[in-house]
Copies of this chain bind each other. A is one copy, B any other.
Amino acid sequence: MRDTPYLVVDEHRLEANLAAMAEHARALGVALRPHAKTHKTPEIARRQCEHGAIGLTVATVGEAEVFADAGIDDLFIAYPLWATGPRAARLRSLAGRARLRVGADSIEGVRMLADAVHAGRPGAVPLAIAVEVDSGHHRSGVAPERAAAVAAAALEAGLHVDGVFTFPGHSYGSGAAAPAAGDEAAALATARDALVAAGIPCPVVSGGSTPSARAADGGVLTELRPGVYLFGDAQQWELGTIEPAAIALSARATVVSRRDHVAVVDAGSKILGADRAAYASGYGRLLDHPDARITALSEHHATVTFPPDAVVPPLGTVLRVVPNHVCTAVNLVDELVVEPEGDEVAVWHVAARGRNA
């Protein structure tokens, strides 16, 4: 027995989700390189590779270090790193012990990366880049037609160029997944064609978010990088990307206070995360009470409002709460409790928790 709140992984559901996405990538004819920022857990990375992942995607040098330590030898830091100071030395060390690809969306950034790995100088270690393209999310990334300039600068600086990538983050919205997947394919095709027209081979065309993965264009993409698919969360539930019966991670939380149609449970933003997208119906969902809504969230309280005709669970009841955004929830804990069929059997270490730099 363990004191609430804590995060639980349903191992059977996890395995089913891993298998389903692996099969989808195979059917689409693309490589699967899951984004490990979601789980930050070597045990899960190992399982992703067993299901056929060619390597992992990560967001930071710190995450890459953790997974390289765990034996993953093909890593893509899908982020426009600014590689100065200690980060430069860490990157060079990492590139010496894994097949490493880094994102880039500026000529200055590419030159910094080349300098970090001593490209073209004695003691150089190989580093590949992929040019980040903005496909409509408008975060980082160059306009697709500008991708060749960044790729050319990389070659000139002595780096290898794998190709192009994008994150179609605008897939997160009601009915937005298929149009975003279309934008993704169009932007990546334009960027790929720009590289090829400039005489730069472009073997890797990498895209993917969990909402858009099902609609991904296998005729353009060569690689898919979904993250959330293995667990699911309340966002994916409400976007229609996952059925509640497939959600593989939830917080266990105890009812500590109660009035009228409200129960307050002991899982707040410090274990669920405070994410609340515009389309979300609340601050998370209850797996066993789909009609209830989390109408307020504090650091250690979730206020759950039940429908007027519902029976509010009594004090002391342990409920399963699904975070809105599983990536930020997992980053709040040091371990995940693994439960096949409700029996606690194992704990997995979230080794890359907090590795922001």
Contacts and interface: CB of A to CB of B under 8 A. Distances in A.
B300 A80 contact: no
B59 A269 contact: no
Interface string A55-91: 0000111000000000000000001111011110010
Interface string A101-120: 00001101100100000000
A315 B107 CA distance: 11
Interface stretch (A41-49, A151-159, A194-202, A324-332): A324-332
At the interface, is chain A mostly helix, strand, loop or mixed?
loop
Contact of A254 (B82, B105, B267, B273): B82
Interface stretch (A3-11, A16-24, A175-183, A216-224): A3-11
Interface stretch (A238-246, A256-264, A286-294, A338-346): A256-264
A298 B60 CA distance: 13
Number of copies: 2
Nearest to A132: B257
Interface residues of A, number: 62
Across the A-B interface, give the 3 residue pairs with the lowest CB-CB distance, nearest first.
Answer: A140-B257, A3-B357, A274-B274
Given A3-B90, A169-B298, 20 more contacts: A1-B86, A3-B85, A3-B86, A4-B357, A6-B356, A37-B299, A80-B257, A106-B315, A108-B316, A138-B303, A139-B296, A139-B298, A140-B256, A270-B356, A274-B325, A299-B328, A299-B331, A300-B356, A331-B332, A334-B354
